[in-house]
C-alpha cells in the first residue's frame, strides 16, 4: 500500500515530461525526422527554471496564481486517479466530482491570469478555453456516469478497479463509447490536435498556448509541467480502460500501466501527425458529439 | 420563551428604521440606531436558529389574534431555522454595509425611506419563516413583497428604476394571487384548517387536490424564487436596487419562495413520482437559462441577478431529486437531494451577498455597472477584488469553497442512484451532466466578470481612479468570505443541522439514511486542506524573484498596446452566447463595412430577456394600446379604487353569509 503510493508519487513527478517526449518522437517519425531526444522536455523544463522572468506591469497577483493553481490542482487530481490496476493514494466515495472540479478551478485561474495581462490575444485564448470546457465537462461527467453504472462504485479507484474486466464483457459497447469520449476530452483538455496545436506560432489560432504568452521562466516551466501532468492524469483514465488487466502482482501491474500510458501517448502523437487542427467553429460540434456518444453509452444500460 | 425572543427580534427589525424618521437630517443618530437594531435582530435570529438546529427542538408560541381564520401561531422547527439563519445574518451585515454605501449625508432624499423599508422587509421575511398559520404567513409575505417594491424603487427619479419597480410589483401581485388560490384550495380540502404544517388533514387530502396545491405553489412561490419563466422581474429589480438591497433580495428574499415550496411539499406524505420529475426539469431549465443569460449580460449586477436564477435552479434540482427519492422509496436519494438543496440555500445566501457587496463597492467608487467600461480595479481596490474572487470561486462551485460542498451533495444524490439502479435512475442520472454544464458555464461567466471588471487596464475614465471602500463595506464582506471558506472546508459542521431539517421536511428520512454516512465530509476537509497546503508551497516556490524584470504586456510585436484593444466582457462571452443562441437569442447591431476607406462605425449587442423584453412587455403594451381610452374601470383615481375594494368586501361578505364558508 505504502509502496504503491510511493511508486504513484514517483510516476506523477517524473513521468509527465516523458509523455511529451514520446509524442514528439512519434511526430518526428511521421515527418521523417530523427526528432529531439526523449529527455528533451526535461531539459527544456530545467532551462526554464534556471531563467529569470519578465512580468507585465499590468498584472496583479492573479497572474502568478494561474500557474500556481494549475500545478496544485493537477497534483491533487493526480492523487485521486488510480494508475493501472493499483489503487490511488487518495480515494473516497464521490472523488470523481472533486477530480473534475479541480480542473475547473485551474481553468478559472488560468483564464483569469490571461485576462490579467490585458492582452487581446490572451483574452481570445481564455474565451476559447472557457467555451470548449463548457462542452467538455458534460462529456466527462456522462462518461463517469457510465463507469459508475458499470461498476456500482462512486470512486475513481472503484470504478477502474478489478471489476473493469467483467464490465468489458457485459457492456463492451458502452465502454467503447466511453473510451472514445474520454479520449476526446483528453485531447481538448490537454490542448492537443485537433483542438489546439501546441506547436503553432500564430497567436490568433491558438487556445492554450496563447493564454500563457506573457508567462516566462519558472512560471512558464510550471505551466508546461502542469499541462503534461494533466495529460498523464487524463491519459491514465483512458489507459486503464483500454488495458483493464489486474494481475495482482505489484511490479507487473505497474509495468502494464507504464506500457499502456506510453501507448496512449503514442496514439496522441499519431493523431497529431495524421490530422490537421480543426477550424475553431467545428470544435464545438466534435465536443457535442463526444457528449452524445457518452450519453448514448449511458442510455445503453437502460435497455 | 425562545419563540417570544424571536418575535421580539422581528419587532426590532420592523421598527429599526422608524427612529431615523424623526431625527434631523444632519444627525447620524438615526443611522446608528438602525444599524444597532438590525445587528441586535441578527444576533437574536441567529441564536434562535442555531439553538433549534443544534438540537434544541422546535419552539412554538400562540397568541390571541382576532383576524377571522387566522391565529397568531409561531412555530420554529429545523426547516424554519435553516431559513431563519440567513434572514438573521444577511440583513444585519447589509445594514452595516448600507451605513457606508447609502449614507444619509450623500442621499438625503431617500436614505430614511430605504432604512425604514429595509427593516420592514427583514421583519416580513422573518415572519414568513416562523409563521405556522396561513394568514400570519400571508401577512409576512405581503409586508415583504410591498417593502421590496419600495426598496427596488429607492431611486425613483430614474425612469429605469420606476419601470423595474412596476415590473416587480406586477409580478409579485400575480404571485400572491396564485398563493391565495393555493391556500384557498388547502382551506377547502382540509376543512377549514389554516395550518401551514403537515397534519392528518393535509395527508388525507385527495391526490388531485394535493397536486393542485403543489402546482399552484410552484407558480406562486416560483415568482418570488425567480423560477424560469417567472424570473422576469428579477434582473431589472436586482440591477437597479441599491447593492445591499440586491444582496438581501437575491441572497434571502428569493429563498422565501423556496421556503414556501419546501413547506408545501412537506405537507403531504406520499408525493407521486411526477412531482419530483417536474421539479427536477424546472430546476435544470432554470439553471441553464439563468447561466446562459448571465453570459450575455453587460451589466455586472444584472449578471449576478441571472446567476440567482441559475442557483435557484440548482436548489430545485436538489428538491426534485429528493421528491423522486421519496416517491420511489429511496431514502438516500431523498436525504442527499434535500440536504444539498438546503445547504445550497445557505451557500447561495453567503456567496451571492458577498458578490453583490463587492460589486456594490465597485459601483460605489466608479459610478458604473457596465463591465465594458471597467477594468484594472484590482490594483486600486485590492480587498474588494479579493472578496469578489472568493465569491466567484464559491458560486462557480469550485473547491475548496462552499459552492462545491453543496453541489457535491446534489451530485452524490444523482450518482448514487446510478450506482444502485432501479426506479427512474436514468432521469436522475441526467441531473449530473446538467449540473456539470451549468457549473462549467458559471466558471466561464465569472472568469469573464472578474477578468473584465478587476483585471487588465481601465477601459474608461470611470475606472481610472477608484479608491478602496470604507470598513463599513469591507467588514461585512470579510465575514461572508470567511463563512464561504469555513463551509467549504468543513462541511461536516453543518451536516447534523441539515439532517434535522431534512427530518422536519419528511419525518423518518434521516433515520433510514443518516446524512453523515452519505457524504464524505472528512475526505472533503482533508482534500481541501491538502489543496491549500500544496497551493501555499507552490506559491512560495514560484514567488517573484529579485531577478524578475517588469515590462509592458507582450502584444505580439505591436509596440503600443492600448486598453481599448483588450478583450471585453462581451467579446469574451461572444462565442458561448452564439453557441447558446437557441436559448439566449442575442441581438446585435453590426453595420456592414464597405469601401476602401470605411467611415467610422459602431457595434452593439444586447440580450433582451426572453420573457420580459420579448413577451411580457410587448404584450402588455399592445393590450394597453388596444384598450386605449376605453378604460372604464381603470380610471387611475384612487377614490374609485377604494370604492371597488369596499364593494368587493361587501359582495364577499354577502357570499359568505349565504354560503357559510368561513367558520
How close, in Å, is residue A193 to chain B by CA atoms?
20
Q: What is the pLDDT of residues B366-396, one digit of tens each?
A: 999 999 999 999 999 999 999 999 999 999 9
What 3-state DSSP class applies to B62? strand
Q: Which of residues 354-393 of B touch A (CB under 8 A)?
A: 375-376, 378-379, 385, 389, 392-393
What 3-state DSSP class applies to B606? strand
Q: Which of residues 189-208 of A touch B (CB under 8 A)?
A: 203
Contacting residues of A for B377, CB less than 8 Å apart: none
Q: Which of residues 224-283 of A touch B (CB under 8 A)?
A: none
Peptide bond just before A194 cis, omega within 30 deg:
yes
Residue A171 gets which letter from DSSP? S
Q: What is the dihedral of CA B376, B401, A72, A230, to 10 degrees?
A: -100
Q: CB contacts < 8 Å between A and B, how many?
A: 261
What 3-state DSSP class applies to B105? coil
The confidence band for B71, taking pLDDT boundaries of 50, 70 and 90, is: confident
Distance CA A60, CA A49 (A): 21
Residue B546 has pLDDT above 80, yes or no: yes
Return the H-helix or E-strand segment holding A54.
strand A54-56
- Alpha helix (H) residue ranges in B102-206: 111-130, 134-152, 159-190, 200-203
- Among A126, A135, A137, beta carbon nearest to B572: A126
ipTM for this prediction: 0.96
* Contact (CB, 8 A) for A80 and A88: yes
A288 burial via Cβ count (<10 Å: 0-12, 13-18, 19+): middle
The confidence band for B663, taking pLDDT boundaries of 50, 70 and 90, is: very low
pLDDT attached to residue B193: 64
Q: What is the pLDDT of residues B194-223, one digit of tens each?
A: 667 788 888 888 999 999 999 999 999 999
Mean pLDDT taken over chain B = 92
* Contact (CB, 8 A) for B241 and B151: yes
List of residues 6+ apart from B149 with CB closer than 8 A: B165, B168, B169, B172
Q: How many CB atoms lie within 10 A of CB B11?
A: 13
Among the residue ranges B57-71, B132-146, B176-190, the one predicted with the least confidence is: B57-71
Peptide bond just before B335 cis, omega within 30 deg:
no
Q: Which of B310, B385, B436 has the highest number of chain A CBs within 10 A, making it the mutation to test binding with A?
A: B436
- Among A55, A67, A135, beta carbon nearest to B544: A55
Return the H-helix or E-strand segment holding B72.
strand B72-76
Contacting residues of B for A55, CB less than 8 Å apart: 544, 548-551
pLDDT attached to residue B660: 60
pLDDT attached to residue B637: 85
Contacting residues of B for A148, CB less than 8 Å apart: 415, 418-419
The closest alpha carbon to B343, from B401, B298, B287, belongs to B401
**Does B520 reach chain A within 8 Å, measured CB to CB?**
yes
**Does B342 reach chain A within 8 Å, measured CB to CB?**
no
The closest alpha carbon to B328, from B436, B423, B205, belongs to B423
Contacting residues of B for A218, CB less than 8 Å apart: 542, 545
Q: What is the dihedral of CA B529, B531, B532, B538, to 10 degrees?
A: 140
Distance CA B283, CA B289 (A): 10
**Does B562 reach chain A within 8 Å, measured CB to CB?**
no
Residue corresponding to grid cell 419600495: B150
**How do the residues of chain A divide into helix, strand and coil, expressed in percent and rounded to 5?**
75, 0, 25
Contacting residues of B for A96, CB less than 8 Å apart: 415
Residue of A nearest to B428 (CA): A145
Residue of B nearest to A54 (CA): B549
* Contact (CB, 8 A) for A32 and A76: no
Distance CA B249, CA B122 (A): 10
Q: What is the pLDDT of residues B455-513, one digit of tens each?
A: 999 998 888 888 999 999 999 999 999 999 999 999 999 999 999 999 999 998 988 99
Residue of A nearest to B437 (CA): A138
Q: What is the pLDDT of residues B295-328, one digit of tens each?
A: 999 999 999 999 999 999 999 999 999 999 999 9
Q: Which of residues 138-157 of A touch B (CB under 8 A)?
A: 138, 140-142, 144-145, 148-149, 151-154
Q: What is the pLDDT of residues B605-658, one digit of tens each?
A: 888 888 888 888 899 889 888 887 777 777 778 898 999 999 999 998 888 777
How close, in Å, is residue B522 to chain A by CA atoms?
10
Residue B661 has pLDDT above 60, yes or no: no
Distance CA B114, CA B460 (A): 31
- Among B455, B530, B548, beta carbon nearest to A52: B548
- Among A104, A116, A134, beta carbon nearest to B455: A116
Distance CA A25, CA A266 (A): 9
Residue of B nearest to A211 (CA): B554
The closest alpha carbon to A111, from A97, A127, A99, belongs to A127
Run means of pLDDT, 10 residues per run, chain A, 303 residues: 92 95 95 94 96 91 95 96 91 94 96 92 91 92 93 92 86 93 94 82 73 91 95 96 88 93 96 89 92 93 78
Residue of A nearest to B555 (CA): A119
Return the H-helix or E-strand segment holding B433.
helix B431-454
**β pairing state of B72-76 and B59-63:** antiparallel
Q: Residue B292 has which C-alpha cell?
A: 446562459
Complete DSSP assignment for A116-163: HTT-HHHHHHHHHHHHHHHHHHHHHHHHHHHHHHHH--SSHHHHTSTT
* Contact (CB, 8 A) for A70 and A225: no
Distance CA B63, CA B93 (A): 31
| Phi and psi, residue B370, nearest 5° | -70, 115
- Among B443, B530, B563, beta carbon nearest to A107: B443
How close, in Å, is residue B455 to chain A by CA atoms?
5
Q: Which of residues 118-137 of A touch B (CB under 8 A)?
A: 118-124, 126-128, 130-131, 133-137
- Asked if A56 and B554 come within 8 Å (Cβ–Cβ), the reply is yes
Q: Which of residues 187-216 of B touch A (CB under 8 A)?
A: none
**Does B549 reach chain A within 8 Å, measured CB to CB?**
yes
pLDDT attached to residue B553: 86
Q: Residue B380 has which C-alpha cell?
A: 486600486
The closest alpha carbon to B342, from B272, B266, B277, belongs to B266
Structural Rg of chain B based on CA atoms:
25
- Asked if A148 and B419 come within 8 Å (Cβ–Cβ), the reply is yes
Residue B188 has pLDDT above 90, yes or no: no
The confidence band for B422, taking pLDDT boundaries of 50, 70 and 90, is: confident
Mean pLDDT on B567-580: 91
Structural Rg of chain A based on CA atoms:
19
- Among A92, A108, A152, beta carbon nearest to B447: A108
Distance (Å) of CA B363 to CA B93, B360, B377, B466, B658: 18, 5, 11, 10, 59
Return the H-helix or E-strand segment holding B6.
helix B2-15
Complete DSSP assignment for A174-204: HHHHHHHHHHHHHHHHTT-TTT--TT---GG
How close, in Å, is residue B262 to chain A by CA atoms?
26
Distance (Å) of CA B146 to CA A30, B139, B141, B220: 72, 11, 9, 16
Distance CA B244, CA B354 (A): 10
Is the Cα dihedral B563, B569, B573, B578 positive or negative? negative
The confidence band for B604, taking pLDDT boundaries of 50, 70 and 90, is: confident
SS (H, E, C) A208-225: HHHHCCCCCHHHHHHHHH
Contacting residues of A for B549, CB less than 8 Å apart: 52-55
Contacting residues of B for A153, CB less than 8 Å apart: 419
Task: List B511's β-bridge partners, or say none.
Answer: none
A218 burial via Cβ count (<10 Å: 0-12, 13-18, 19+): buried
Q: Residue B438 has which C-alpha cell?
A: 451549468
- Asked if A219 and B530 come within 8 Å (Cβ–Cβ), the reply is no
- Among B408, B446, B456, beta carbon nearest to A58: B456
pLDDT attached to residue B659: 65
pLDDT attached to residue B194: 67
- Alpha helix (H) residue ranges in A32-94: 40-50, 61-80
Contacting residues of A for B452, CB less than 8 Å apart: 115
How close, in Å, is residue B468 to chain A by CA atoms?
16
- Among B404, B426, B571, beta carbon nearest to A299: B426
If phi > 0 it is left, if psi is from -120 to 50 it is alpha, else beta; for residue B206 that is beta
- Among B411, B457, B534, beta carbon nearest to A118: B457
* Contact (CB, 8 A) for B313 and B288: yes
- Asked if A101 and B398 come within 8 Å (Cβ–Cβ), the reply is yes
- Asked if A97 and B408 come within 8 Å (Cβ–Cβ), the reply is yes
Distance CA B247, CA B307 (A): 12
**β pairing state of B549-551 and B72-76:** unpaired
Q: How many CB atoms lie within 10 A of CB A114?
A: 34
**Does A35 reach chain B within 8 Å, measured CB to CB?**
no
Residue B192 has pLDDT above 80, yes or no: no
Query: Percent of chain B scored above 70 by pLDDT?
Result: 98
Domain definitions of chain A by residue range: 2-302
- Among A105, A124, A291, beta carbon nearest to B567: A124
- Asked if B531 and A100 come within 8 Å (Cβ–Cβ), the reply is no
Q: Which of residues 432-461 of B touch A (CB under 8 A)?
A: 432-434, 436-437, 439-441, 443-444, 446-448, 450-452, 455-457
Query: How big is the CA angle at B389 (ends B284 and A101), to the nearest 5 degrees?
Result: 50
Q: Which of A74, A81, A98 has the highest number of chain B CBs within 10 A, making it the mutation to test binding with B?
A: A98
Amino acid at each position: 500500500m505504502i509502496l504503491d503510493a510511493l511508486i504513484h508519487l514517483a510516476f506523477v513527478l517524473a513521468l509527465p515530461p516523458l509523455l511529451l517526449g514520446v509524442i514528439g518522437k512519434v511526430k518526428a517519425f511521421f515527418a521523417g525526422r530523427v526528432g529531439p531526444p526523449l529527455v528533451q522536455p526535461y531539459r527544456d523544463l530545467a532551462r526554464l527554471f534556471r531563467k529569470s522572468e519578465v512580468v507585465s506591469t499590468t498584472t496583479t497577483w492573479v497572474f502568478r496564481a494561474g500557474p500556481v493553481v494549475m500545478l496544485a490542482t493537477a497534483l491533487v487530481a493526480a492523487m485521486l486517479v488510480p494508475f493501472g490496476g493499483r489503487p490511488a493514494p487518495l480515494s473516497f466515495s464521490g472523488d470523481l466530482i472533486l477530480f473534475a472540479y479541480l480542473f475547473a478551478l485551474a481553468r478559472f485561474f488560468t483564464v483569469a491570469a490571461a485576462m490579467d495581462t490585458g492582452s487581446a490575444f490572451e483574452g481570445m485564448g481564455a474565451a476559447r478555453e472557457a467555451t470548449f470546457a463548457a462542452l467538455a465537462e458534460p462529456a466527462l461527467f456522462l462518461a463517469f456516469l457510465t463507469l459508475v453504472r458499470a461498476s456500482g462504485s462512486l470512486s475513481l479507484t472503484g470504478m477502474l478497479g478489478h471489476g473493469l474486466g467483467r464490465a468489458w464483457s457485459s457492456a463492451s459497447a458502452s465502454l467503447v463509447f466511453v473510451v472514445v469520449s474520454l479520449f476526446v476530452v483528453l485531447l481538448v483538455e490537454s490542448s492537443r490536435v485537433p483542438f489546439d496545436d501546441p506547436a503553432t506560432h500564430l497567436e490568433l489560432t491558438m487556445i492554450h498556448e496563447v493564454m500563457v504568452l506573457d508567462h516566462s521562466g519558472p512560471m512558464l516551466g510550471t505551466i508546461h509541467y502542469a499541462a503534461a501532468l494533466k495529460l498523464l492524469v487524463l491519459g491514465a483514465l483512458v489507459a486503464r480502460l483500454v488495458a483493464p488487466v489486474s494481475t495482482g502482482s505489484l511490479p507487473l501491474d505497474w509495468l502494464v500501466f507504464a506500457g499502456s500510458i506510453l501507448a496512449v501517448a503514442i496514439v496522441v502523437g499519431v493523431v497529431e501527425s495524421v490530422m490537421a487542427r480543426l477550424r475553431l467553429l467545428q470544435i464545438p460540434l466534435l465536443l457535442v458529439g463526444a457528449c452524445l456518444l457518452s450519453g448514448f453509452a449511458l442510455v445503453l444500460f437502460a435497455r | 420563551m425562545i419563540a417570544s425572543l424571536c418575535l421580539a427580534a422581528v419587532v426590532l427589525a420592523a421598527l429599526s428604521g422608524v427612529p431615523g424618521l424623526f431625527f434631523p437630517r444632519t444627525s447620524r443618530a438615526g443611522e446608528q440606531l438602525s444599524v444597532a437594531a438590525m445587528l441586535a435582530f441578527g444576533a437574536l435570529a441567529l441564536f434562535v436558529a442555531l439553538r433549534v438546529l443544534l438540537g434544541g427542538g422546535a419552539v412554538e408560541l400562540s397568541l390571541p389574534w382576532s383576524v377571522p381564520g387566522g391565529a397568531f401561531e409561531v412555530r420554529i422547527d429545523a426547516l424554519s431555522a435553516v431559513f431563519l439563519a440567513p434572514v438573521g445574518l444577511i440583513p444585519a451585515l447589509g445594514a452595516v454595509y448600507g451605513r457606508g454605501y447609502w449614507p444619509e449625508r450623500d442621499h438625503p432624499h431617500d436614505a430614511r425611506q430605504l432604512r425604514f423599508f429595509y427593516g420592514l422587509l427583514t421583519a416580513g421575511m422573518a415572519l414568513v419563516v416562523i409563521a405556522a398559520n396561513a394568514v400570519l404567513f400571508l401577512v409576512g409575505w405581503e409586508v415583504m413583497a410591498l417593502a421590496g417594491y419600495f426598496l427596488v424603487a429607492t431611486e425613483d427619479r430614474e425612469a429605469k428604476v420606476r419601470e423595474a419597480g412596476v415590473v416587480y410589483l406586477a409580478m409579485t401581485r400575480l404571485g400572491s394571487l396564485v398563493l391565495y388560490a393555493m391556500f384557498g384550495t388547502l382551506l377547502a380540502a382540509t376543512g377549514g384548517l389554516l395550518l401551514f404544517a403537515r397534519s392528518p388533514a393535509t395527508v388525507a387530502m385527495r391526490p388531485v387536490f394535493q397536486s393542485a396545491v403543489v402546482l399552484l405553489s410552484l407558480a406562486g412561490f416560483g415568482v418570488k424564487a425567480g423560477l424560469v419563466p417567472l424570473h422576469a422581474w428579477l434582473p431589472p429589480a436586482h440591477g437597479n436596487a441599491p447593492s445591499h438591497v440586491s444582496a438581501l433580495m437575491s441572497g434571502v428574499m428569493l429563498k422565501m419562495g423556496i421556503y414556501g415550496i419546501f413547506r408545501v411539499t412537506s405537507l403531504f406524505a406520499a408525493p407521486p413520482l411526477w412531482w419530483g420529475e417536474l421539479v427536477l426539469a424546472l430546476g435544470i431549465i432554470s439553471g441553464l437559462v439563468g447561466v446562459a443569460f448571465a453570459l450575455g449580460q453587460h451589466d455586472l449586477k444584472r449578471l449576478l441577478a441571472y446567476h440567482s436564477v441559475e442557483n435557484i435552479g440548482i436548489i430545485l434540482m436538489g428538491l426534485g431529486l429528493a421528491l423522486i427519492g421519496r416517491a420511489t422509496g429511496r431514502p438516500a436519494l431523498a436525504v442527499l437531494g434535500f440536504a444539498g438543496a438546503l445547504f445550497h440555500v445557505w451557500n447561495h445566501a453567503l456567496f451571492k451577498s458577498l458578490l453583490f457587496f463587492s460589486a456594490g463597492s465597485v459601483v460605489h467608487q466608479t459610478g458604473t455597472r457596465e463591465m465594458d467600461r471597467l477594468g484594472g480595479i484590482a490594483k486600486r481596490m485590492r480587498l474588494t477584488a479579493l472578496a469578489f474572487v472568493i465569491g466567484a470561486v464559491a458560486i462557480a462551485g469550485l473547491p475548496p469553497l462552499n459552492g462545491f460542498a453543496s453541489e457535491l451533495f446534489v451530485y452524490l444524490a444523482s450518482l448514487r442512484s446510478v450506482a444502485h439502479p432501479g426506479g427512474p435512475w436514468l432521469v436522475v442520472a441526467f441531473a449530473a451532466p446538467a449540473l456539470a454544464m451549468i457549473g462549467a458555464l458559471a466558471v466561464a461567466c465569472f472568469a469573464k466578470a472578474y477578468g473584465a471588471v478587476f483585471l487588465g487596464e481601465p477601459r474608461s475614465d470611470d475606472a481610472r481612479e477608484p479608491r478602496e471602500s470604507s470598513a463599513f463595506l469591507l467588514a461585512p464582506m470579510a465575514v461572508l468570505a470567511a463563512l464561504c471558506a469555513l463551509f467549504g472546508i468543513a462541511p461536516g459542521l453543518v451536516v447534523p443541522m441539515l439532517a434535522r431539517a431534512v427530518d422536519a421536511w419528511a419525518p423518518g428520512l434521516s433515520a433510514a439514511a443518516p446524512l453523515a454516512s452519505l457524504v464524505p465530509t472528512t475526505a472533503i476537509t482533508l482534500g481541501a486542506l491538502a489543496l491549500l497546503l500544496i497551493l501555499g508551497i507552490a506559491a512560495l516556490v514560484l514567488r517573484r524573484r529579485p531577478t524578475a524584470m517588469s515590462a509592458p504586456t507582450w502584444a505580439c510585436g505591436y509596440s503600443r498596446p492600448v486598453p481599448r484593444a483588450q478583450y471585453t466582457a462581451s467579446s469574451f462571452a461572444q462565442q458561448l452566447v452564439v453557441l447558446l443562441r437557441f436559448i439566449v437569442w442575442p441581438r446585435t447591431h453590426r453595420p456592414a463595412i464597405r469601401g476602401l476607406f470605411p467611415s467610422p462605425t459602431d457595434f452593439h449587442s444586447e440580450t433582451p430577456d426572453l420573457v420580459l423584453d420579448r413577451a411580457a412587455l410587448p404584450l402588455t403594451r399592445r393590450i394597453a394600446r388596444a384598450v386605449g381610452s376605453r378604460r372604464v374601470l381603470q380610471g387611475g383615481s384612487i377614490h374609485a379604487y377604494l370604492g371597488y375594494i369596499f364593494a368587493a368586501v361587501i359582495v364577499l361578505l354577502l357570499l359568505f353569509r349565504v354560503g357559510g364558508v368561513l367558520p
